[in-house]
Structure 1
Amino acid sequence: MSHSMIATMMFALMMLLMVTGQRVFAAIGAVAAVAALLLWGTGGADIPFTAAMKLMKWYPLLTLPMFIFMGYILSESKIADDLYKMFHVWMGPVHGGLAIGTIGLMVLVSAMNGLSVAGMAIGATIALPELLRRGYDKKMVTGVVQAGSSLGILVPPSVVLVLYAMIARQPVGQLWLAGIVPGLIMAALFIVYIAIRCRMNKELGPVLPKEERQVSMAEKLRLLRAGLLPLGIFAVMMVPFVNGWTSLVESSALGAMAALLAAIFKKRMNKVVFENSVRNTLAISCMFMWIILAALGFGAVFDGLGAVKAIEALFTEQWGLSPWTILILMQLSFIIMGTFLDDTAMLVIVAPLYVPLVQALGFDLIWYGVLYTVTTQIAYMTPPFGYNLFLMRAMAPPEISLRDIYGSILPFVMIMVFALALIMVFPQLALWLPEYVYQK
């Protein structure tokens, strides 16, 4: 049996295990372990051992539990609630102001946690009921929450980009910096769309009643200070890193410490908050470590088979496809897989195949990491089986049906496709900031 046929069978078996509902790391790791033993006998046991040693020696991995802990501290201590109160007061007099404020909330939540699920949970539980109570159009605001949560894996500290960095062997700091400008561009496009649509049809996003807008400037400033606290924590973490005063790991420790001190200062730290934050941090960190370990083992077997070179030859020599055509086909495959897989599963399944291929085609792997994150979020929100659609249905109030959720997302998906096209056509949108910082 040829090596290419063995690689194809490995990929097919892994997908079969995924369809049966097996855990991601178990499906990938089991296929890699069995294939290694069958191909190379007992010597194949060195592959998972080498992958484990590589994982344990990867110093930037220490950022993962730090940032997850920071996010959970801010979430469990309800500091995120202050953000929405701030947007409620400052943006209430504007048509669609609370929806625009929700996008701002999502950007700051993303900077707090780095997981799109966290943004979805906060948006659906804090922002969505309030928007519906204020008479906002339920289709529009459902789309706003879903679109805003998509920024979670793009705006640093993105946990998924840490995973990509490990698998693609790229610097985490450069990937995070590469995600900032595209993430802000997407947020700005969402805000412009909401503002224009609510200006054309003011019933979609009514202003707050006059009596609720009569808030003293002192109260507004107090809410502003409370609401911008997470932004201050983000600055404490990122400013020293961008200026080269601290390493990435040191910055993550600063962020975690700043979040803990903020919760203590606001008298919201207690045993329950601390225990829940530590437990959730440990659970998420261990899950990601198992996934990375399985992906590294699977990638090592793929490399040993020469599968990447065979596929590159098939695309470029036998089929005669251009590098850009191959790249677009890869992005389309993410859209298809996103109908039944989450972003982490997509990455670890195709990374051993796609990352070396992207490099062989001459594309920048930092830039491609941004393309991957944007594309997977588009896939998340694309009917009929987008992961985010069903997640939203589970969290949304009863008056929002699945039909409403489907109908709400199309304009935002089109905006994200436009943003993706911009990043593909103008790679410097993603590469300018990391190049500037690291040259500095």
Structure 2
Amino acid sequence: MIIFLMLVGLIAGVFFGFPTAFVLGGMAMIFGLIFVGPDIFGFFILQLESVMKNYTLLAVPLFLFMGVFIEKSGMAERLFNSLYLLAGGLRGGLGIATIVISALFAAATGVVGASEITIGLMALPAMLAKGYNKSMACGTICAGGTLGILIPPSVMIVVYGPIAGLSVGKLFLGAIFPGLLLVMLYILYLALRCYIRPQDGPPMAPAERDVPLKHKLYLLVTSVVPPAVLIFAVLGSIFFGIAAVTEAAAVGVIASMALAAAYRRLTLETIKQACLQTLQITSMILMIAVTASFFSTVFVALGGDDVISDLFLNLPFSKWGILFSIMGLLIFLGMFIDWIGIVFIVVPLITPIGASLGFDPVWFALLIMVNLQISFLTPPFAYSIFYLRGITPPEIKTTDIYRGVIPFVGLQIIGLALCILFPQIITYLPNLMLK
């Protein structure tokens, strides 16, 4: 009953709009003092020190800083202009180009908000001007933006690894193929829909794409090669065992600043804005990390981990039935709690369950992360929808965005199912990683 009240208090606090960090800390303080006593403060101090001394979490501000510089370097604009010319002649070509740009931008930033807003400001007006279906255009941008939370270097993976006791480098590599799988599913959907219904994604007029092939190739090379070098510098150094994740993040920061300088966007104002945005987001994440560790300490001290474990392991299902129950629970929680809260609250509880069922830990972790992508598109608290709503013109209604994301939620569930049916999609690259 105590554990039930603790969880109800947590969910109620978040549901009524209180900041997640303060809800976690408040519940930990109240239940800790009542049922453990003043000694709980000693445990809180140890947990605070543990989080602050976690070397891997140092990669969080570094990747955020890198992402801000990539956003301000003009890379997305150059990518869009080149792919706009190359794919605009196809039915649904602008939508396909938007997904490709989103994937490349995700691999260079690891942040959903920055990717979606930057790409949305360019792609949405272009698609609406060409007569694209409003709902499809909005859904494409929302779904493309969520790739930033999965395709490495993802901030979610950096946070997830230490909590679950897993190698962030292996999680990075394990996320590559699931991310590409979702990209392919989105592209196939857009191509098929626009083939059946050409009016949803008409091609560009021949006169608009009448640009010399030499110029098209120049635009493509100058826009794709720099981010490709940046991505290889970060992920390649991890894959080949040259650098740890935090060191690779530092390499990414230097490379992103060099890229901004090459595009003549490296200014004192840019550095100032990058520092401020990084400080704000990092402070939020680490505040939740600290208070979540307080909550977990009290929860475990009261036997909550055993209650949750027994609840799932005693379900009248096979291990696959239990897995699908966990996936369903995460989809439901994703409608009301952001990914940060779910990772810090739920992951420490369900990771031992996955181990008890004999699942590969990297595979199980990536299934959860693929699942958490869905939370960005499922109302009422669908952050991807809110990001886009803030930049849409008046003719776009919120209902247009909701209708647009529904097919992509289905595609994300299909991608999750394929990762369950074919574990090698996740495990192949981590198994090749150099020790």
TM-score (norm 1): 0.93
Task: Find out whether 1:234 has 2:265 as its counterpart.
Answer: no
Q: Tell whether the 8 Å contact from 2:150 to 2:369 is kept in structure 1 after alignment.
A: yes
Residue type matched to 2:253 in 1? A
Task: Mark the CA change 1:273 to 1:315 in structure 2 (over 3 Å): closer, same or farther.
Answer: closer
The Cα of 1:93 is off from its aligned counterpart by 2.0
- Report the Cα distance in structure 2 between the residues aligned to 1:133 and 1:268, rounded to whole angstroms: 29
Correspondence 1:297-308 to 2 at 5 A: 297-308=294-305
Residue from 276, 292, 295 that aligns with 2:289: 292
Task: Find out whether 1:267 has 2:264 as its counterpart.
Answer: yes
Residue from 291, 307, 317 that aligns with 1:321: 317
Task: Find out whether 1:281 has 2:287 as its counterpart.
Answer: no
The Cα of 1:423 is off from its aligned counterpart by 0.7
1:430 is matched with 426
Residue 42 of structure 1 aligns to a residue whose secondary structure is coil
1:399 is matched with 395
Residue type matched to 2:234 in 1? M
Identity %: 34
Q: Tell whether the 8 Å contact from 1:7 to 1:302 is kept in structure 2 after alignment.
A: yes
Task: Find out whether 1:49 has 2:45 as its counterpart.
Answer: yes
Task: Mark the CA change 1:132 to 1:181 in structure 2 (over 3 Å): closer, same or farther.
Answer: same
Residue type matched to 2:113 in 1? V
- Report the Cα distance in structure 1 between the residues aligned to 2:47 and 2:82, rounded to whole angstroms: 46
1:243 is matched with 240
1:350 is matched with 346
Task: Mark the CA change 1:179 to 1:274 in structure 2 (over 3 Å): closer, same or farther.
Answer: same
Task: Mark the CA change 1:15 to 1:385 in structure 2 (over 3 Å): closer, same or farther.
Answer: closer
Residue 354 of structure 2 aligns to a residue whose secondary structure is helix
Q: Tell whether the 8 Å contact from 1:308 to 1:357 is kept in structure 2 after alignment.
A: no
Give CA deviations for 1:292-325 in whole Å, capped at 9, x if unaligned. 11222222222222222233333434x4333222
Residue from 176, 188, 207 that aligns with 1:180: 176
Residue correspondences, number = 434
The Cα of 1:144 is off from its aligned counterpart by 0.8
The Cα of 1:133 is off from its aligned counterpart by 1.0
Task: Find out whether 1:101 has 2:92 as its counterpart.
Answer: no
Residue from 210, 216, 220 that aligns with 2:216: 220
Q: Tell whether the 8 Å contact from 1:298 to 1:352 is kept in structure 2 after alignment.
A: no
- 143-152 or 383-392, larger mean C-alpha shift: 383-392
Task: Mark the CA change 1:368 to 1:118 in structure 2 (over 3 Å): closer, same or farther.
Answer: farther
Runs of 5+ consecutive residues of structure 2 not aligned to the other structure: none
1:380 is matched with 376
Task: Give the RMSD, CA atoms, in angstroms.
Answer: 1.8
- Report the Cα distance in structure 2 between the residues aligned to 1:115 and 1:27, rounded to whole angstroms: 24
- Report the Cα distance in structure 1 between the residues aligned to 2:394 and 2:366, rounded to whole angstroms: 35
Residue type matched to 1:35 in 2? F
- Report the Cα distance in structure 1 between the residues aligned to 2:67 and 2:202, rounded to whole angstroms: 32
- Report the Cα distance in structure 1 between the residues aligned to 2:312 and 2:62, rounded to whole angstroms: 41
Residue type matched to 1:399 in 2? E
Runs of 5+ consecutive residues of structure 1 not aligned to the other structure: none
2:308 is matched with 311
Residue type matched to 1:109 in 2? F
Q: Tell whether the 8 Å contact from 1:33 to 1:48 is kept in structure 2 after alignment.
A: no
Q: Tell whether the 8 Å contact from 1:51 to 1:293 is kept in structure 2 after alignment.
A: yes
- 100-109 or 294-303, larger mean C-alpha shift: 294-303
Q: Tell whether the 8 Å contact from 2:89 to 2:209 is kept in structure 1 after alignment.
A: yes
TM-score (norm 2): 0.94
Q: Tell whether the 8 Å contact from 1:167 to 1:296 is kept in structure 2 after alignment.
A: no
Q: Tell whether the 8 Å contact from 1:67 to 1:157 is kept in structure 2 after alignment.
A: yes
The Cα of 1:330 is off from its aligned counterpart by 1.8
The Cα of 1:383 is off from its aligned counterpart by 4.5
The Cα of 1:363 is off from its aligned counterpart by 2.3
2:25 is matched with 29
2:34 is matched with 38
Task: Mark the CA change 1:62 to 1:404 in structure 2 (over 3 Å): closer, same or farther.
Answer: same
Task: Find out whether 1:200 has 2:196 as its counterpart.
Answer: yes
